[in-house]
Structure 1
C-alpha cells in the first residue's frame, strides 16, 4: 500500500495495512464493526493498488494517541465519487477532531485521480454528524440508501 499520512494541525490520519486491519477484526467485539472490518479486508484483497480506499484510517493526535477512525467505502466509482464514514471514540468527542479529520481527508481525496465528489451519509437524528459535515464544507444533497446524503466537491 502507498505510504500516506494526512496531517492536520492536531492530527495524523493514517490508513491501516491489511495486517493491522486483520488484528482489529480479530479483536473487535461489536458485531457491526466486525462485519465492517471483514468487508474492508475483502475489498483490500480484491482491489490491489487501491487499498487506501478500502481500509480503516486511524485518527491520531500528534502525541500518537488514537482518538477515532474513518474510512472510504470503496474506491472511486464511475461518477468519480467516494463515500466516507467516521467516528470519534467517546472519550475524545467534543474537541472538534471529527470536523478536522473530515475536512482534511475530504480535501486529500479531492486531490486524487478520479475523485470529483466526496459523499457522506448520516441519519436525520444525528445533528452532531450533520454539523460536522456542514462545517467541513459538505452540502446536503438529498437522500442516499442510508438516510441524509451530503456531498463535497472542489
Structure 2
C-alpha cells in the first residue's frame, strides 16, 4: 500500500509539472519556475544532435513502471519528457518523438545517470508502453496513468 501511495503522489506531482502550458489565466500572478520550464527542445548531447519531431498522441501522458523495487514515472507532453525514479534525488528530462523513423526518448540526468539515456519505444497503446533503453535497464514496460490516478496494477521488470 505504501508503494501505491508514493506512486500516486509521483503521478500527481509530475502531472502538475507538465499541466502548465502557458495559456491564458491570471496575468497578475508571478509564475514560479518549474523543472519543466528548463527542458530543451533539442535532443540531449548523449544522442548526438539529432532533430526530434513531436511525439505521437499514443506516447502522450503519464506512465508508471516498477524496477528493482522502485517506482519509475515517465511523463511525455508534446516533445518534452521527464522521468523520476523513487530513491534518487535527481530527475531526468529530455525529448520524445520521431527520430530516424522510430519513436524515441532521449533523456539527460543531472546526476550523470545513463541507465535510461536513450529509449526506443517498442510498442505503445492506450494502456501500456514498452521501451528498450540503451543503458543497463534494458527493456521496461510501463502502464498508463489516466487522469492522475494510479493504474490498478503496476508492471514489474521481467525476470530473465
TM beyond 0.5 = no
TM-score, length basis structure 1: 0.33
Say which structure is richer in strand.
2
Say which structure is richer in helix.
1
